[in-house]
């Protein structure tokens, strides 16, 4: 019998990534469509269904070639019915994604949070290399995460498991977070947080830095500029990155003391800085981890980047249907 394919879909704020993936986890074809956020994103399930049908025709394949669809969406997922409770940047509220897509396509659909899918993708085909106990943290505009324990995503009682970005790092006087709390890891270790800390350091200290001139020109900074300066051992940028990696290492060590993971995988735009982030995180992790936890773990940078979501979606479909 001819091999069947899995479908991985990763819904983002500007594009939707799609892929047909073999049962061995090999990407057969991948493509993107624009995310249509007009009319509160109501059109999105139809767009996804059409994109899949069009691609099947293009490849001269029947719908029967597809086993099912694993789809990642931003925001908390209701696992009883595969609806999205709220996805602010898509305009969704109690949006029945699974039901709508199954109706459009007549194929089984499983839905999970996008960061959880990325964690599964890294576990299956990326830096996780099959590790059954894994912490994935993604450092982008925000800080997302996924925790895998004994091969299964930790969802918790109402879908908020693995929200690593909202571990409290600063107990008093922390910056406000999108979640409503203050001092979350996300306010420090996200790209936004790194840029904010650098601007604060420039405007409130005399520490010498090549970033001062950039800041005076742009009236702002990007995380990449701060990370590049830290790589060149700029004094102020190094202090900022020391603060970021202290809190990241501390949060990951505390989570690990409860989970005893085999791998910790760091992804997202900020992780592209490689050793500038990884080495100091490892040092801080070693300070705060229980010795036996430290012995068992390997901390690495994510390897499959933008494909992690669709590969994780395929894994979810493979293990669900
Ligand atoms: Zn928060």
Low-confidence ranges of the chain (pLDDT < 70): 1
- Are 38 and 85 in a shared domain? yes
How many angstroms separate the alpha carbon of residue 247 from the centre of ligand 1?
14
Coil vs helix vs strand at 178: coil
How many structural domains is the chain composed of? Answer: 2
How many angstroms separate the alpha carbon of residue 186 from the centre of ligand 1?
6
Paired with 10 in beta bridges are 17, 72
How many angstroms separate the alpha carbon of residue 190 from the centre of ligand 1?
11
The per-residue pLDDT for 76 is 85
How many angstroms separate the alpha carbon of residue 176 from the centre of ligand 1?
8
H or E element that contains 138? strand 134-139
How many angstroms separate the alpha carbon of residue 168 from the centre of ligand 1?
8
The answer to whether 198 and 205 have CB atoms below 8 angstroms apart is no
- Are 136 and 161 in a shared domain? yes
- Are 260 and 311 in a shared domain? no
For 103, the domain range is: 5-121+307-320
Question: CA 189 to CA 192: how far, in whole Å?
Answer: 8
The per-residue pLDDT for 117 is 95
How many angstroms separate the alpha carbon of residue 124 from the centre of ligand 1?
28
The per-residue pLDDT for 1 is 60
- Are 158 and 276 in a shared domain? yes
How many angstroms separate the alpha carbon of residue 165 from the centre of ligand 1?
6
How many angstroms separate the alpha carbon of residue 167 from the centre of ligand 1?
7
Report how far Cα 19 is from the mean position of its chain's Cα atoms. 18
How many angstroms separate the alpha carbon of residue 209 from the centre of ligand 1?
30
Closest CA relative to residue 152, chosen from 96, 79, 94, 101 = 79
Q: How far is CA 277 from CA 186, 202, 241, in A?
A: 15, 21, 7
How many angstroms separate the alpha carbon of residue 142 from the centre of ligand 1?
9
The per-residue pLDDT for 79 is 83
- Are 223 and 311 in a shared domain? no
- Are 165 and 295 in a shared domain? yes
How many angstroms separate the alpha carbon of residue 54 from the centre of ligand 1?
40
What CA dihedral angle connects 168, 174, 178 and 181, to 10 degrees? 60
- Are 60 and 202 in a shared domain? no
How many angstroms separate the alpha carbon of residue 205 from the centre of ligand 1?
27
Task: For residue 137, give the CATH number of its domain.
Answer: 3.30.420.40
Angle between the N-to-C axes of helices 211-218 and 191-204, in degrees from 0 to 180, rounded to the nearest 10: 100
The dihedral of CA 222, 224, 230, 232: what is its sign?
A: negative
How many angstroms separate the alpha carbon of residue 166 from the centre of ligand 1?
4
Paired with 17 in beta bridges are 10, 32
- Are 91 and 142 in a shared domain? no
- Are 252 and 268 in a shared domain? yes
Q: Return the percentage of the chain with pLDDT > 90, whole number.
A: 92
- Are 87 and 150 in a shared domain? no
Neighbours of ion ligand 1 (CB under 5 A): 166, 177, 179, 181, 184
- Are 140 and 109 in a shared domain? no
The answer to whether 270 and 190 have CB atoms below 8 angstroms apart is yes
- Are 163 and 196 in a shared domain? yes
How many angstroms separate the alpha carbon of residue 90 from the centre of ligand 1?
20
What are the phi and psi torsion angles at 260 (to 5°)?
50, 60
How many angstroms separate the alpha carbon of residue 22 from the centre of ligand 1?
37
How many angstroms separate the alpha carbon of residue 265 from the centre of ligand 1?
21
Residue with tokens 């997202």: 268
């Amino acid at each position: 019998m001819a091999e069947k394919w899995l479908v991985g879909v990763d819904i983002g704020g500007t594009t939707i990534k799609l892929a047909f993936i073999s049962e061995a986890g090999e990407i057969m074809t991948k493509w993107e469509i624009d995310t249509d956020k007009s009319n509160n994103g109501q059109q999105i399930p139809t767009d996804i269904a059409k994109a899949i049908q069009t691609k099947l025709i293009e490849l001269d394949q029947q719908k029967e070639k597809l086993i099912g669809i694993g789809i990642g969406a931003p925001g908390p997922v209701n696992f009883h019915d595969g609806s999205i409770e709220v996805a602010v940047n898509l305009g969704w509220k109690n949006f029945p994604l699974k039901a709508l897509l199954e109706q459009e396509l007549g194929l089984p659909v499983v839905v999970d949070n996008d960061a959880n899918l990325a964690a599964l993708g890294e576990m299956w085909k990326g830096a996780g290399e099959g590790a059954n106990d894994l912490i994935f943290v993604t450092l982008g505009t925000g800080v997302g995460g996924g925790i895998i324990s004994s091969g299964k995503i930790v969802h918790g009682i109402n879908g908020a498991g693995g929200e690593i970005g909202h571990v409290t790092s600063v107990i008093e006087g922390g910056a406000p977070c999108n979640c409503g709390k203050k001092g979350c890891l996300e306010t420090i270790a996200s790209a936004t947080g790194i840029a904010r800390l650098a601007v604060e350091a420039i405007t409130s200290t005399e520490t010498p830095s090549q970033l001062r001139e950039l800041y005076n020109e742009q009236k702002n900074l990007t995380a990449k500029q701060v990370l590049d300066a830290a790589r060149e051992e700029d004094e102020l940028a190094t202090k900022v990155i020391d603060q970021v990696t202290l809190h990241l290492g501390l949060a990951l060590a505390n989570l690990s003391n409860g989970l005893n993971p085999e791998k910790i995988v760091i992804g997202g735009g900020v992780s592209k800085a490689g050793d500038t982030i990884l080495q100091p995180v490892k040092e801080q992790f070693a300070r705060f981890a229980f010795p036996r936890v430290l012995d068992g773990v390997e901390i690495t940078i994510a390897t499959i980047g933008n494909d992690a979501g669709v590969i994780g979606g395929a894994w979810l479909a493979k293990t669900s249907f």
